[in-house]
């Protein structure tokens, strides 16, 4: 059996049902690519289960997925996933591959940044368009195509949840890095309304350590990064905001609208 268990967003979010399944597993792996989970949380789980939790990288879950899961034909194998297991396409591929080879699969859900960030922002779930990822840039890789998706959402009157890329081995993008990449991408595209829009920054959504505020691109560039050190970030690009949403934003402690 192959068990995909969601860890949620905070230490202790994992369900009792998940723990019960994982206790039966001969080997437990942690997907260190698609999400950010603290080492403290993994150590806590390892102690609770009395088993080692082995980190596993992207190529073992995508390019070499069969090598990773084939042992599940004869014994129970667990893969831990930050947030909810079926948000990332990678995990759907794993499930499909397992079922193709007749391996029984169990998916154990948990809380996700999608519901936490949107819910805690105060904006209406039903007014969000497709989610967009802000990728790290490198010398030979500087994509700006993600801006088209954000613009399309704005044109449709839809908010955008902008997920920030994760640098291996699980280090989240900082707000300063996000602001720099966004600014350079906007400049490369010839400029657009994102230069002056007020973004909503959500740090550690769904956790006791959550921080949320609104900021322009320039304000994000000079924001005191020490307040957000080590926190997992995402950014919301709001479209027009309704009166009810404005009230909810104030209740969430997010001002500027």
Say what percent of the chain tops pLDDT 90: 69
Examine the domain organization and report whether 228 and 101 are in the same domain: no
> At 57, which CATH number?
3.40.1010.10
Examine the domain organization and report whether 95 and 135 are in the same domain: no
Examine the domain organization and report whether 97 and 172 are in the same domain: no
Checking if the pLDDT of 118 tops 80, the result is yes
Examine the domain organization and report whether 72 and 122 are in the same domain: no
Structure-token match 């009230």, residue found = 247
Examine the domain organization and report whether 136 and 241 are in the same domain: yes
Q: Is residue 45 part of a domain?
A: yes
Q: Is residue 89 part of a domain?
A: yes
Q: Is residue 256 part of a domain?
A: no
Q: Is residue 257 part of a domain?
A: no
Total tally of structural domains belonging to the chain: 2
Q: Is residue 21 part of a domain?
A: yes
Q: Is residue 41 part of a domain?
A: yes
Examine the domain organization and report whether 102 and 81 are in the same domain: yes
pLDDT of residue 203: 94
pLDDT of residue 139: 85
Checking if the pLDDT of 60 tops 70, the result is no
Examine the domain organization and report whether 60 and 176 are in the same domain: no
Checking if the pLDDT of 123 tops 70, the result is yes
Checking if the pLDDT of 11 tops 70, the result is yes
Domain boundary among 62, 92, 108: 108
> At 192, which CATH number?
3.30.950.10
pLDDT of residue 169: 59
Task: Give tens-digit pLDDT for 179-205.
Answer: 999 999 999 988 778 888 999 999 999
Examine the domain organization and report whether 38 and 69 are in the same domain: yes
Examine the domain organization and report whether 71 and 160 are in the same domain: no
Q: Is residue 59 part of a domain?
A: yes
Kindly list the distances between the CA atom of residue 30 and the CA atoms of 9, 159, 185, 199, in Å, as whole numbers in the listed order.
14, 32, 33, 32
Domain boundary among 52, 74, 108: 108
Checking if the pLDDT of 61 tops 90, the result is no
Examine the domain organization and report whether 124 and 206 are in the same domain: yes
Domain boundary among 89, 108, 127: 108
Give the range of the structural domain holding residue 98, as residue numbers without chain letter: 2-108
Model pTM?
0.88
Q: Is residue 157 part of a domain?
A: yes
Examine the domain organization and report whether 104 and 121 are in the same domain: no
Task: Give tens-digit pLDDT for 80-111.
Answer: 999 999 887 788 888 998 999 999 999 999 99
Examine the domain organization and report whether 162 and 103 are in the same domain: no
């Amino acid at each position: 059996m192959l068990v995909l268990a969601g860890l949620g967003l905070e230490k202790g979010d994992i369900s009792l049902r998940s723990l019960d399944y994982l206790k039966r597993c001969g080997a437990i792996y942690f997907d260190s690519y698609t999400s950010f989970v603290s080492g403290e949380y993994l150590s806590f789980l390892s102690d609770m289960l009395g088993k080692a939790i082995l980190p596993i990288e992207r190529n073992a879950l995508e390019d070499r997925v069969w090598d990773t899961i084939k042992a599940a034909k004869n014994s129970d194998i667990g893969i831990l996933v930050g947030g909810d297991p079926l948000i990332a396409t990678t995990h759907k591929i794993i499930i499909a591959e397992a079922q193709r080879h007749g391996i029984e699969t169990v998916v154990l859900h948990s809380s996700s940044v999608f519901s936490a960030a949107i819910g805690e922002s105060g904006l209406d779930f039903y007014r969000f368009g497709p989610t967009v990822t802000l990728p790290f840039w490198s010398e030979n890789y500087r994509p700006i195509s993600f801006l088209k998706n954000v613009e399309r959402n704005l044109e449709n009157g839809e908010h955008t949840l902008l997920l920030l890329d994760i640098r291996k081995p699980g280090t989240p993008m900082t707000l300063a890095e996000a602001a720099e990449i966004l600014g350079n991408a906007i400049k490369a595209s010839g400029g657009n309304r994102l230069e002056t829009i007020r973004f909503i920054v959500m740090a550690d959504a769904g956790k006791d350590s959550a921080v949320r505020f609104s900021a322009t691109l320039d304000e994000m560039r000079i924001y005191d990064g020490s307040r957000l050190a080590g926190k997992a970030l995402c950014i919301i690009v709001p479209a027009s905001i309704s009166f009810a949403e404005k009230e909810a934003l104030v209740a969430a402690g997010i001002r500027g609208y």
